[in-house]
Each structure stands twice: as C-alpha cells, then as structure tokens.
Structure 1
Amino acid sequence: MSPTVHLLLGGLVLLCSYRLDKLTEACSCALSHPQDAYCSSDIVIRAKVVGKKLLKDGPFGTMRYTVKQMKMYKGFNKMKHVQYIHTDASESLCGVKFEMNKYQYLITGRVYDGKVYTGLCNFNEKWDRLTLAQRKGLNHRYQLGCNCRIKPCYSLPCFVTSKNECLWTDLLSYIGYPGHQSRHYTCIQQKEGFCSWYRGWAPPDKTIINATDP
C-alpha cells in the first residue's frame, strides 16, 4: 500500500488523498462549505459543457472540456472568458467528469499557467441542484464573507475561538452532506469584524447584517 500523497494544483494543495490498495486507487476530499469553495477559487462560472478532448500529458492524461460560459461570478481579474476546463482524466486522481450538451454546471477551479483546472475536490454541481440561497451566495453574499472563517464541528462540544468564525455543524448530522447550513446559509462579516450566519430573501446590506442562527 502506497503512502498518502497530495495533489499540488497551481500552488494550491487540494484536500485530496490517494491510497493504493491492490492496484486500486481512490480519491477522497475533505468536505467544505460552498462559501469556502467560492472564496478559495480563482474562477467560478456557470457553463454548459459542449465538447471534450483527451490530452496526452501526465501518467493518465488530462481531459480538456470545452464549455459555453453562461455567467462568470468570480475570476474577472484572471481571464475575461473561460473556454476550456482542464481536469485529470482519471477519477482516482480526483478528475471530474461532466456530461456534454445536457446540463448547466456551476464550476469552480484554479488558474495555473493561463489554464483553468478543476477536480472532484472543487465545488462542481449541476445548476438545477443549487438552492436559491446558494445562487444568491454566488451573486454577492459569499464574497461578503470571504474574510470570515467557517469552522467545521465534527463532534460536540465545539466552539468558535475568534470573532470572525462561524460554527459549521452540518457534519454532526446523520443525514450527511450537504446539510442545512451548506444549502441555505452564508457566513457574513458584520460590524466590528464579527461574523455570523445569515439567511434572508432580500439582498443583505453591505455594512450590517441581521443574522439568523441556523
């Protein structure tokens, strides 16, 4: 059995781990709130996949997806328009598979050497599976909370340790991921640097948020 190794993608160590067991490799990823995925990504877009090509580089090759970009939520400072998404061709190395000419996807990734890369450890989801709160988060709310820290709680008791933290308790639920906070809440910074969970239908004021605990 080979030791656990980490995939380095554009200077970012993805939270993927690999273990070789009887010639079988697997990819596993640490769970993250969609807001964290947004804030840590270089590129966040809504797009439809319209083509693919296997590039013969690396041990298993790289899959290059051609996308029709519908909207860019983050990444204007990196590139004006995304035409290609790159990912490892092997799912065991955290490569992600998209269906062509069928769905619109929310795709997040990092930019390396002028190319967009994504994988199973990034937040990639069919657009129609996103909640209204998640879509609002992509439009403006997640950005308001990028200075906050979402602190996972794996077992009780657990507490926030600084004013810029929101306690993420989805991982305590027997129902599993994604949980209620992931689907409906945003951790947003308020006055004096305090962060708290926010859920609301009207666009939040950019200076102060009336928070509602999940």
Structure 2
Amino acid sequence: MKIIKSICFALLFLQSQRWYLLLFIFGSQHVDKLTEACSCALSHPQDAYCNSDIVIRAKVVGKKPLKDGPFGTMRYTVKQMKMYKGFNKIQHVQHIYTDASESLCGVKFDINKYQYLITGRVYDGKVYTGLCNFNERWERLSLAQKKGINHRYQLGCNCRIKPCHYLPCFVTSKNECLWTDMLSHFGYPGYQSRHYACIQQKEGYCSWYRGMTSRDKTTINTTDP
C-alpha cells in the first residue's frame, strides 16, 4: 500500500487562559505517531521584558503539584529578591504557576539552588510562566542583560525588534532594530541578545545600544548588530 507523506499541522487552543501550540503528526490510514510539543517563537530578552506583566529575580524554595485543569499545574514557591516590573499588578510574588507538563510549555526550576530571572503574566492575581517566557539562572545572564532588566529595556518598549531569518533584511520604519542573531546563533543566546538593547533615540528613531556609560558614544544604527 502506497504510503502517503505525513502531514503536519498546528492546532492552537486556549487552556487556563494561556495559549499553547500542539503539533499533531498524522500518517496515512492511521496515526503513526502523535506528539505534543511546546513551540515558541524566538524572542529577544527585551521583547520578553516588555511583553511580560511580571519580571522578578527570585530563588525557588519549594514546589507543589496541583490538579488544576486537565493536565495539572505545578506551583512553585519563591523567595523574591527584587521586582523589576509588575508593581501595578502585584506587590510581592510568593508563588509561580506553570503547567506540570513540559510538552505543554511547563517550565522546571531547581529547588534551593539558584536565583532565577523569572518573567510571566498575571491572571486572577496569580503569576504564570512557561517555556515561552524568558526564565534564566541569574548568573548566566550577561552584564548587559542585567542592566537591560534594571532599566534599559523599558526605554525601548516602544521600539520593534525585527527578526532577520534570511538575507537580505531591511528595516521598514524608524522604530525598528534589525535582529540578526538567528542567522548565526538561531536566536537566543546570540550576540545581540546578550549584549544589546534596542533603545528609542531622538525623533522617535530606535537603534541598538551597547555602552556601559554614555549612550551617545555607544549607539549604532538600526541595521548593524
């Protein structure tokens, strides 16, 4: 019997107010293989910061599986060290919620080992995060990323970081910075991700910024990493 080439398609659905991407792979006549996988679009840390409700540095000190939803939820207890964003949403974060399954974008944290940078969204007074959010051990962040989280990224939330997957790439408006990490590093943690922020300059223009002191001496144009 002739085998029909497998067809992949994606089905988006909403579960507990969070979006997930389930990839279903079907063969001919019957389901040869069914996989569920978390699929995330590449994101610069600045975009992750700007698109998050909550950005904190915290140590994870406990976890508890919950039976919320059809697939379960993991509740992590955290000791918050510092909040960088989200004061208008919640005063102090004590718990972080994520899906129990990594295939549904659930993230796993080590307990009583590291301080983490955690980003997430707030729903009904609870903080949710997942693999598509920017979560990283604090000591693994570059100095530029730490400075970005402290103050620089917020200066560029009106800018647009435009991914470049194939050459040639061009900016199409004055508020864009061309992000080329995926050409050689497949996105994070590429050089621009680790060392640059896209900052709004005079007259609304945005450009990559790297410097440690004066912004004027360290800005570059929108097409140069």
The verdict on a shared fold, with TM-score over 0.5 as the criterion, is yes
Task: Give the C-alpha shift of residue 140 in structure 1.
Answer: 0.4
**SS of aligned partner of 1:128:** helix
Runs (4 or more) in structure 1 with deviation over 2 Å come to 5-13, 20-24, 174-177
| One-letter amino acid matched to 1:120 | L
Q: Which runs of 5+ in 2 are unaligned?
A: 1-6, 26-32
Secondary structure at 2:152 match in 1: helix
Amino acid across the alignment from 2:69: G
Structure 1 residue 60 displacement after superposition? 1.4
Which amino acid letter does the alignment assign opposite residue 125 of structure 1? E
**Structure 2 CA distance for partners of 1:112 and 1:164, relative to 1, 3 Å:** same
Aligned pairs for 1:49-88 within 5 A: 49-88=60-99
Please report how far the alpha carbon of residue 5 of structure 1 lies from its aligned counterpart in structure 2 after TM superposition: 2.6
TM-score for the superposition, normalised by structure 1: 0.91
Percentage of matched positions with identical amino acids: 77
**Hey, what does 2:23 align to over in structure 1?**
19
**TM-score normalized by the length of structure 2:** 0.86
Is 1:117 the equivalent of 2:128?
Answer: yes
Instruction: Report which of the two structures shows the higher radius of gyration computed on alpha carbons.
Output: 2
Report whether the alignment pairs 1:89 with 2:93: no
Q: Whole-Å Cα distance in 2 between the matches of residues 175 and 146 of structure 1?
A: 23
**Contact 2:56 2:85 (C-alpha < 8 Å) held by counterparts:** yes
Pairwise CA RMSD of aligned residues? 2.1
Equivalent in the alignment of 1:171: 182
Alignment of 1:211 onto 2:204: no
Equivalent residue, structure 2, for 1:5: 11
Structure 1 pair 73–54 and aligned structure 2 pair: CA distance change class (3 A): same
CA distance in 1 between counterparts of 2:15 and 2:86 reads 17
What's the counterpart of residue 147 of structure 1? 158
Q: 1:37 to 1:203 in 2, by over 3 A?
A: farther
Aligned residues: 209
SS at match of 1:155: coil
Is the 1:10–1:110 contact (alpha carbons within 8 Å) kept by the matching residues of 2?
no
